[in-house]
Amino acid sequence: MAAPCRDLTGLRRGLAAARLAPGRRGANKLCLAPFHHRAPPPQQQQGRRRQRQGLKVVAAISEDLPRLAAPGTGKGAPEGRRPEKVLVRAALTVRRKHKEDLKEALAGHLDALWDMVGRSVALELISTKIHPRTKKPLHSGQASIKDWCQKRGVKGEHVVYTAEFMVDSDFGEPGAITVANRHHREFFLESIVVEGGLPCGPVHFACNSWVQSTRELPGKRVFFSNKPYLPSETPPGLRELRDKELKDLRGDGTGVRKLSDRIYDYATYNDLGNPDRGKEFIRPILGGDNIPYPRRCRTGRPPTDTNMLAESRVEKPHRIYVPRDEAFEELKQGAFSSGRLRAVLHTLIPSMIATISAETHSFQGFHHVDNLYKEGLRLKLGLQEHLFQKIPLVQKIQESSEGMLRYDTPRILSKDKFAWLRDDEFARQTVAGINPVSITRLTVFPPVSKMDPAIYGPPESSITEAHITGQLNGLTVQQAVDEAKLFILDYHDVYMPFLDRINAIEGRKAYATRTILFLTKAGTLKPIAIELSLPPSKAGEPRPSKVLTPPADATSNWLWMLAKAHVSSNDAGVHQLVNHWLRTHAVMEPFILAAHRRMSAMHPVFKLLHPHMRYTLEINALARQSLISADGVIESCFTPGPVSFEISAAYYRDHWRFDLEGLPSDLVRRHSCRCPIPVCSCLFLPLSTDISSSLVIRRVAVEDASQPHGIRLLIEDYPYANDGLLLWSAIRSWVESYVQLYYPDAGTVQSDDELQGWYHETVHVGHADIRHAPWWPSLSTPGDLASILTTLVWLASAQHAALNFGQYPLGGYVPNRPPLMRRLLPDPERDAAEYATFMADPHRFFLNAMPGVLEATKFMAVVDTLSTHSPDEEYLGEERDEPWTGDAAAVAAHDMFTADVRRAEEAIDSRNADQRRKNRCGAGVLPYELLAPSSPPGVTCRGVPNSISI
C-alpha cells in the first residue's frame, strides 16, 4: 500500500502563503483520496451548490488492497523474479436522475438483468508508460463493474460502483481509463478513483460525462486522469490516445448529428428562418461574405425544401443537437422547463383574450399594468368562469397552477414605485441598469454621424447649443465638453439604415435616437436633450428630426416622456441584440467549439476554461430554436422585429473587436470618428496611437497608471465599471498566476501545438469572416495568453451577468423600459387627428404607444426565465467540489482567486451602503448588485455564474 498522501488543506495553505513564483509547478505531486471538503464561509454558503444539493460524493477506497506476490524468474526482475501482481480497485461515482419515468425505470431493470448475464460495464486501465518491447501503452486486463445489479435498489442521487484489476507492480501510473457501457441506456459518470498497491498512490479521473451504450456509439470512452499535461509533456502511454480523442471530437464534418454524439463542429446561422412556411419567414444567413457573423455549432440537418442553403429547423418540444455533455443537467433542465412553462402560461392567456375582445390589445391604464403583479392576468382581464369550463387546458391551469398566472413584482418598483418617471432615474440606469455599457463621453459638439452623407444627408446632429446651454450649470458648451461633463447615448447610426423597414411593420414605430446627458456636481447624470431622427425622404436630403429638452409644461412633459420611451426602446434593442447576445453568447461559441476540438481535457488551459464553457452551447441552441428565430420572442417583443439580427450582424461587421472586449479597454475605447463610412481605419488603431484631428475619441475612462486598475473613470460613481474593475482585477490575477505555472517563457507558448491550434481555429474558422482584421491579438507570449484568457473569462462570467440577470428585476415593468414602441410622437402637421387624440388623453396615448398586453406579457415571461439562477449554478470564485486538477499549485492559485472574489463582494456590499454614491444608494435608489458574485437560486438581481448558462 502506498504511503498516505499529505493533507491537502495543509498543502493549500502552505502554497498560498508562499505566493507561487513564476514557473514553479506542483504538478504530479498531489494525492487525491480521500478529499477533505472545507466548509465555505458563512457569507457564501447560500450560493454553494453543495449546500443546495448536498455534498457531492467523491468515491475513494479506504481499505487496504493487498499486493499478491507471484513467484517466478521473469526477465529483468530482481533476483530473477517476475514483477509481483498488484490488486487495484476502481470506484466509479454514477449520478442517478432524481425522477425516472416509466420507460426509464423499465430500462434500468433491463440493464440490471443484462448485467447479470455478463453484458456489464467494462473498464480497462492504461498506463502512462509504454511497453519496452512493443512501444505500445501498457494496458491492464479488462474488468467489469461487479455490483451494478446489486445496487439497483440503492437510494440516493449518487451510487458508487467498484471494479478490480490485477496488474504488474511495474505497471506505472494509470493515466487513462476506458469505459465500455454494454447496457441498453446511457449513464452519467461523475468520477473514478483508482487506488491500490501502486507506488503513485490514488489517481483521480474527473469524468462528468454521459457514457453511451455501445449499441448507440460503438467503442470505448476514454477518460484521462486529472493531472494536467502540455502536449510536449504528455507521457508516452497517453500520446496516441490524446490525439485520437481530439480527432473523434472533431468528427469528419459530415452527416446529421444524433443527440448522443459528442462532435464539435461549425456552421453558419442558416437556421433562423423557415422559408418552407412562407416568404415572411425567410431570414438572411448570418455568416459568410455577405453578412459576417460568428459561427455556431453544426447539427448537419438537411436543407429546407425551398432553399438548399437554409437548414431545416427542429421545433419545440423536440430537442436541438448539441454535443451530449453540453446539454443541461437534470436540475438545470427542470428549472428551465419550469420557466418555459411559465412563459407558455403567460402567453396563452393573453393570446386567448386578444381574440375575444379588441379592447384588451392595449393597457387601459397604469393600474392595469400594476394588476399583473397584484391580481394576475385572469382577474385583471375579467375572463369569465364559463370559459375555463369550456377549455380543458385552461381549466387544468386554473386548478393546479393558479399562482403561475400572477407575475412577481419587479425589483425596480420595490423602493420607489414612481422613480421611473424621474429624469435622474432615467439617467442613473445608463450606468447602473440593464445596459450600462453604451454610454460614452461626448467630445465634439454637435454629435456627428459616420454614415454616408450621399445617402443619409448631412452628418451633423440637429441638436444645437441653444438647446442645451441653459442646462449646463453656467458652463458654455465648449467648457462642458473640455471638462468631460457631457455624455451621450448614441443609437443614431445603429437604427437609421433599418428604420424604413421597421416603420413599415404594422404596430412598430421607431426613431434613431441620440440622448445627451450632463454630469452634475453631485456625480449624477441628467438628460438635457433627446434627438429623434427618421431617414430622409430622398437620398442625401436632410433627415427629419425632432429635438426635445426637459419639459416646462404639461404638453412638453408628455412629449418628453414619449421621447424617453423611444430612447429606452432603442436601448433595449441594442442591449439584447448587440451587447447581450452578440458580445457574450455568440462570440464565445467559436472559442468553446475550438477548445473542445483542439485542446485535450488534459491541457491546463482547457482545465482553466472548462467551467466558463458550461451550458453555453445548449442555451445558444435553445435561443436559435425559440428566441432569435423568425417570429421568435426577440422579433415579437422588440422594435426591430424581422431585421433584429441584421442589426446584430452590422455591429459585428463594423465595430466588434476582440482586443477591446476586456473591461479596461472597453471603458477607454468607446469612440467614434468623423469618417462618413461604416468602418474606417481609425477603428483599427491601438490605444497608444497618436490620434489625428479627424478622430473623435469618446471615452468614459482614461489610462492612468496611478490608479489601482490602470484607468481613471470620468464618471466616478459608475457602479457597473466600479464593481466590474474589482472582478476584472481578480480574474486577471488568477489567470496570470495560472499561466505562469505552465508557460515560463514565449517559447513554451509558441511551441504548444494544441494551444496555437485552438486560437488559430477560433479566429480563422469560428470568426472566419473577420479573420484578416489586423486587431486580432497575437498569441506569442505568456502575457498574450493571459490577456486573451482573462477577456474570455470576463465575458463568460461578469460581463454576461451584468447584462442578463437584471432583465426582469429592472426591466419587467414595461413602462420603465418598453422593448418596443407602436407610435411615433404626435405631430400636428403629419396627422392632426392623432395630435388631437394625444391632447385629449395623453395618458391613453402613452399607453397605446407602448407594447400591448400580448407583447408585454410575453416579454415579461421570457425575461423572467432569462433572469433566473438555476439550483445547480456555479459561481465565479466558488470553491470547487471536485478535484478538478492534480496540480497542487493550480489549486492554491484558485484558492487565492476565491479570496479575491470574496473581498470584491464585501467591497460591493460596502459601496451599496455608502450614501456618497448616489447612483447606488439613497432614498428609493436600488443598490447595484448585478456584479455581486454570489446568489441563491431564483430571480435575485445579483450573482455572477462562471459561464453563459441562461
If you average pLDDT over residues 7-16, what whole number do you get?
35
Rg of the chain over all Cα atoms, to the nearest angstrom: 30
Number of C-beta neighbours around residue 220 at 10 A:
16
Tell me, what amino acid is at 431? V
Strand extents, DSSP E, 498-638:
512-519, 525-533, 545-548
Q: Is the pLDDT of residue 78 over 60?
A: no
Strand extents, DSSP E, 473-524:
486-490, 512-519
Catalytic residues: 580, 585, 800, 804, 950
- The phi-psi region of residue 922 (left if phi > 0; otherwise alpha if psi is between -120 and 50; otherwise beta) is left
C-alpha cell, 641:
422585429
Q: What counts of helices (H) and strands (E) characterise the chain?
A: 32, 21
Higher pLDDT: 148 or 648? It is 648
What Å distances lie between residue 922 and 415, 718, 925, CA to CA?
Answer: 10, 15, 5
Q: Is the pLDDT of residue 437 over 50?
A: yes
100, 92 Cβ separation under 8 angstroms: no
pLDDT of amino acid 696 = 37
pLDDT of amino acid 450 = 92
Residue-wise pLDDT for 370-421, tens only, equals 888 876 654 333 444 433 444 444 444 444 444 345 788 999 999 999 999 9
Q: Is the pLDDT of residue 22 over 70?
A: no
C-alpha cell, 501:
423597414
Residue with cell 418617471: 421
* E strand or H helix at 89: strand 85-95
pLDDT of amino acid 861 = 85
Residue-wise pLDDT for 717-753, tens only, equals 999 999 999 999 999 999 999 999 999 999 999 999 9
Give strand pairing partners of 519: 525
CA pseudo-torsion sign 186, 189, 194, 200: positive
Q: Say how far apart CA 380 and CA 373 lie, in whole Å.
A: 10
Q: Say how far apart CA 697 and CA 843 lie, in whole Å.
A: 41
If you average pLDDT over residues 248-261, what whole number do you get?
95
Q: Is the pLDDT of residue 673 over 60?
A: no
Nearest Cα to Cα of residue 826 among 550, 556, 491, 529? 556
Q: Is the pLDDT of residue 568 over 50?
A: yes
Q: Say how far apart CA 191 and CA 187 lie, in whole Å.
A: 12
3-state secondary structure 800-855: HHHHHCCHHHHHCCHHHCCCCCCCCCCCCCCCHHHHHHHHHCHHHHHHHHCCCHHH
Number of C-beta neighbours around residue 700 at 10 A:
22
pLDDT of amino acid 50 = 41
183, 115 Cβ separation under 8 angstroms: yes
Using a 10 angstrom Cβ sphere, with 0-12 exposed, 13-18 middle and 19 or more buried, the burial of residue 309 is exposed
C-alpha cell, 120:
456489464
Query: Terminus-to-terminus CA distance in the chain, angstroms?
Result: 47
Give strand pairing partners of 665: none
Helices in 196-292 by DSSP H: which ranges?
239-250
C-alpha cell, 736:
496570470
Strand extents, DSSP E, 393-510:
440-441, 486-490
Tell me, what amino acid is at 784? D
Q: Is the pLDDT of residue 53 over 60?
A: no
If you average pLDDT over residues 506-523, what whole number do you get?
96
C-alpha cell, 574:
441594442
pLDDT of amino acid 156 = 76
C-alpha cell, 243:
490525439
Give residue 100's pLDDT band: very low, low, confident or very high (50, 70, 90): low
If you average pLDDT over residues 189-206, what whole number do you get?
92
Strand extents, DSSP E, 411-567:
440-441, 486-490, 512-519, 525-533, 545-548
Q: Is the pLDDT of residue 35 over 60?
A: no
Q: Is the pLDDT of residue 146 over 90?
A: no
- Which residues, including other chains, have CB under 8 Å from residue 492's CB and lie 6 or more apart? 447, 449, 461, 512, 513, 514, 531, 533
pLDDT of amino acid 96 = 84
Residue-wise pLDDT for 117-126, tens only, equals 556 899 999 9
pLDDT of amino acid 20 = 38
Q: Is the pLDDT of residue 227 over 70?
A: yes
pLDDT of amino acid 935 = 97
pLDDT of amino acid 19 = 36
If you average pLDDT over residues 1-12, what whole number do you get?
35
Higher pLDDT: 19 or 630? It is 630
Give residue 708's pLDDT band: very low, low, confident or very high (50, 70, 90): confident
Give residue 188's pLDDT band: very low, low, confident or very high (50, 70, 90): very high
Task: Give Cα 407 to chain centroid, integer Å.
Answer: 25
**pLDDT averaged over every residue in the chain:** 84
Helix (H, G, I), strand (E, B) or coil at 6: coil
pLDDT of amino acid 858 = 85
Using a 10 angstrom Cβ sphere, with 0-12 exposed, 13-18 middle and 19 or more buried, the burial of residue 668 is buried
Helices in 850-919 by DSSP H: which ranges?
853-866, 888-912
Give strand pairing partners of 514: 490, 531
Q: Say how far apart CA 177 and CA 186 lie, in whole Å.
A: 18
C-alpha cell, 689:
496611437
Give residue 205's pLDDT band: very low, low, confident or very high (50, 70, 90): very high
pTM for the complete prediction?
Answer: 0.87
Output the CA torsion 691→696→700→705 (10° steps). Answer: 10
Q: Is the pLDDT of residue 66 over 60?
A: no
* Cis peptide, bond prior to residue 71, ω within 30 of zero: no
Q: Say how far apart CA 453 and CA 390 lie, in whole Å.
A: 60
C-alpha cell, 914:
455608502
Q: Say how far apart CA 891 and CA 883 lie, in whole Å.
A: 9
If you average pLDDT over residues 540-562, what whole number do you get?
95
pLDDT of amino acid 348 = 55
Helix (H, G, I), strand (E, B) or coil at 711: strand
* E strand or H helix at 453: helix 453-456
Q: Say how far apart CA 682 and CA 694 lie, in whole Å.
A: 9
Tell me, what amino acid is at 837? T
pLDDT of amino acid 199 = 86
If you average pLDDT over residues 510-538, what whole number do you get?
97
Domains and CATH numbers, the chain: 85-228 (2.60.60.20), 438-578+821-851 (3.10.450.60)
655, 688 Cβ separation under 8 angstroms: no
Over pLDDT 90: what percentage of the chain? 67
pLDDT of amino acid 683 = 32
Q: Is the pLDDT of residue 8 over 80?
A: no
Q: How many CA atoms lie within 13 A of 911 on its CB side?
A: 25
